[in-house]
Amino acid sequence: MLGLEMVVLLGIALVVCGALANRYPIAPAILLVLAGVLIGFVPHLRHSHLPPEIILVVFLPALLYWESLTTSLREIRNNLRVVVLTSTVLVLATAAAVAVTAHALGLAWGPAWVLGAALAPTDATAVGVLARNLPRRTVTTLRAESLINDGTALVLYGLAVGVTVGEEQLTGWHVSWLLVVSYGGGVLAGALVGLLSWQIRRRMDDPMLEGIAMLVTPFAAFLAAEAIEASGVLAVVACGLFMSQVAPRITGAATRHLVGPFWSLSTTVLSSSLFVLVGLEAQSAFRGLSSTTLQRALLDTLVVAVVVIGVRWLWTYTTPYVIRVLDRRPIQRERRVSARQRTVSATAGFRGAVSLAAILAVPRTVESGAPFPDRDLIVLIASGVIILTLLQALVLPSVVRFARLPQDTSVAEEIHLAEVFTLDAAIESLDDTAAALGVGEPVTERVRHELGKQRRLLDAAGSDDDPLVLHHGEYTSLTLALLARRRDALVQLRDERRIDDIVLRQVQARLDIEEVRFSRATPPE
């Protein structure tokens, strides 16, 4: 029953923290971490821990796949150099800085590098949740960095753990080979699984089966990469980016209507649960500390957190100037941002799921059977650093105001372009399409009138005083009100036992589709 109690308590925590975040200007992640800390005080639940392999094999593939599907590949290409540098060189620099600091604080080199590798990567889930309202370029760069840097960090982590327990030999050739296998094998495995998923899904016409195929895809990519000892994280990301390009051509409206809400809900639950687990593990790490005093551990945690955050700030305010010296092309100058604007990227270096899973997966003994040196301390430090980096979300709104980011209207402009272009394409092909289908003139003219009305609304977008816009707003409001009345009448029929519950659900589903359509029918601003 302990597992069920934990699930119920976790669900209550997600609902309560979400409601508080909607009412007060506090990032939901901070409240969820606090909820995890509080859950750790319950004696009956404090020993409930999620195995780290569950985070790596279940949570991460699903979360990273959805992040990859919803990330702009165009923006990744436009910022490829920044993404590559931050996901490789910055990860190595952060890991090295943390390792040197930890060694200076008294840890042996092996555990110090384990800690550094675990804390080096930023977290895609945390970035997506905490920075979603930033301009598209900033968010995409942060998300792309956090999607790719896990591969580099996990290679370093595996090597550090292997050397510490006595299973690996540290040589330049061996490290280079591990990086090649991790990146090359991960991308290849992800691409192959993506191709296979594409070929299977394009032959499906059942939305439920296609949804199941989509659900299996990220886990298949992860396991395929792990089978060849490559990066499962990079495999999932590569597969997700590939499917984001081909899925619009093979996925029907019914499938999108089915899987979109499912993935949105499930990934929200998974990511929120991870923040609760961070708080729970942090509380547990404080209680389980035995190798040093609590005061010394807290000081070490604070020092390491300063190093992790400081390295990112140092990187943010040095590498752009080096790039400016080396690359003087006009296109590069156009993409420059001010020093104020870079404060946002420097502040958004959140740590999360990968760091938590990695540090919890540290073995308890080495090859000789002796305890893994200072395991309890590195778990506590890592948990504390994750929380401290997440606390940066409290100041992120102030940093955004300080940065004076230019208003990003590109998304709205491209939405308007897409709607106008697709509508014009439909209007141009109306006569030929009607003739091919054998549709009569009255129906054709009716459709022409509706398409023309939508086109005029798009032309009048932003003009709140335009008669057509006012008329359309009144029409939409009246239609929604009548749909509510129809829904009440439908429930009345069910209550009077004149129709069955099955009939109610089927008719209600049709009314819901109409309501969603009219709710989204307002012209873009």
Buried b (16+ CB within 10 A) or exposed e, 192-211: bbbebbbeebeebeebeebb
- What does the pLDDT read at residue 523? 42
Note the pLDDT tens digit of each residue in 348-372. 888 887 888 888 888 878 887 888 8
Average of per-residue pLDDT across 286-315: 90
Judged by average pLDDT, the poorest of 174-183, 295-304, 482-491, 498-507 is: 174-183
Q: Is 164 exposed, middle or buried (0-12, 13-18, 19+ CB in 10 A)?
A: buried
Judged by average pLDDT, the poorest of 136-140, 276-280, 387-391, 454-458 is: 136-140
The DSSP call for residue 365 is: B
- Listed residue (64, 366, 106, 74) closest to 219, CA to CA: 64
% of the chain with per-residue pLDDT over 70: 92
∠ CA 515-521-522, rounded to 5°: 125
Residue with tokens 């319950």: 42
Confirm if 303 and 310 have CB atoms less than 8 A apart: no
Judged by average pLDDT, the poorest of 256-260, 408-412, 428-432 is: 408-412
Most confident of 5-19, 91-105, 245-259, 455-469: 91-105
- What does the pLDDT read at residue 67? 84
* Ramachandran quadrant class, 407 (left: phi over 0; alpha: psi -120 to 50; beta: rest): beta
d(Cα 224, Cα 207) in Å, to the nearest integer?
A: 25
Q: Which residues contact 505 (CB under 8 A, 6 or more apart)?
A: none
Cβ atoms within 10 Å of 391's Cβ, excluding its own: 15
What long-range pairs does 516-520 form, CB within 8 A, spacing at least 24? 518/476, 518/479, 518/480, 518/483, 519/480
- What does the pLDDT read at residue 115? 94
For the chain, the average pLDDT equals 85
**388 or 233, higher pLDDT:** 388
HSE value, Cβ hemisphere, 13 Å, CA-based, for 128: 24
Note the pLDDT tens digit of each residue in 240-286. 999 999 988 888 888 888 898 899 899 888 888 888 888 888 888 88
Note the pLDDT tens digit of each residue in 214-230. 999 999 999 999 999 88
Q: Which pLDDT band holds residue 520 (cuts at 50, 70, 90)?
A: low
Confirm if 222 and 232 have CB atoms less than 8 A apart: yes
Q: Which pLDDT band holds residue 89 (cuts at 50, 70, 90)?
A: very high
- What does the pLDDT read at residue 279? 85
d(Cα 493, Cα 412) in Å, to the nearest integer?
A: 43
**35 or 154, higher pLDDT:** 35
What long-range pairs does 505-512 form, CB within 8 A, spacing at least 24? 511/483, 511/486, 511/487
Q: Which residues contact 81 (CB under 8 A, 6 or more apart)?
A: 323
d(Cα 156, Cα 117) in Å, to the nearest integer?
A: 6
Beta bridge partners of 371: 365
- What token pair was written down for 68? 């990859």
* pLDDT over 90 at 93, yes or no: yes
- What does the pLDDT read at residue 113? 93
% of the chain with per-residue pLDDT over 90: 29
- What does the pLDDT read at residue 101? 96
* Radius of gyration from C-alpha coordinates of the chain: 26
Q: Which pLDDT band holds residue 170 (cuts at 50, 70, 90)?
A: low
- What token pair was written down for 224? 């395929």
* pLDDT over 60 at 2, yes or no: no
d(Cα 191, Cα 257) in Å, to the nearest integer?
A: 26
* pLDDT over 90 at 513, yes or no: no
Average of per-residue pLDDT across 472-484: 86
What long-range pairs does 412-420 form, CB within 8 A, spacing at least 24? 412/524, 412/525, 415/524, 416/458, 416/461, 416/524, 419/458, 419/524, 420/455, 420/458
Q: Which residues contact 321 (CB under 8 A, 6 or more apart)?
A: none
Confirm if 360 and 400 have CB atoms less than 8 A apart: no
* pLDDT over 80 at 322, yes or no: yes
Give backbone dihedrals phi and psi of 365, rounded to 5 degrees, phi first: -135, 160
**What single letter denotes the amino acid at residue 133?**
N
Outline where 202-252 has alpha helix (H).
207-227, 232-250
The DSSP call for residue 524 is: P
- What does the pLDDT read at residue 138? 80
d(Cα 236, Cα 191) in Å, to the nearest integer?
A: 9
- What token pair was written down for 39? 């859950």
Judged by average pLDDT, the poorest of 43-47, 230-234, 265-269, 409-413 is: 43-47
**Which helix (DSSP H) or strand (DSSP E) does residue 114 occupy?**
helix 109-119
d(Cα 361, Cα 307) in Å, to the nearest integer?
A: 23
* pLDDT over 60 at 521, yes or no: no
d(Cα 143, Cα 66) in Å, to the nearest integer?
A: 12
Beta bridge partners of 365: 371
Map out the domains of the chain as residue ranges.
2-51+79-165+251-408, 412-459, 469-525
Average of per-residue pLDDT across 500-504: 91
* pLDDT over 60 at 522, yes or no: no
Note the pLDDT tens digit of each residue in 283-292. 888 887 887 8
* pLDDT over 80 at 47, yes or no: no
Concatenating the DSSP letter of every residue in 260-285 gives: HHHHHHHHHHHHHHHHHHHHHHHHHH
**29 or 49, higher pLDDT:** 29
Confirm if 71 and 288 have CB atoms less than 8 A apart: no
d(Cα 123, Cα 119) in Å, to the nearest integer?
A: 10
* pLDDT over 70 at 516, yes or no: yes
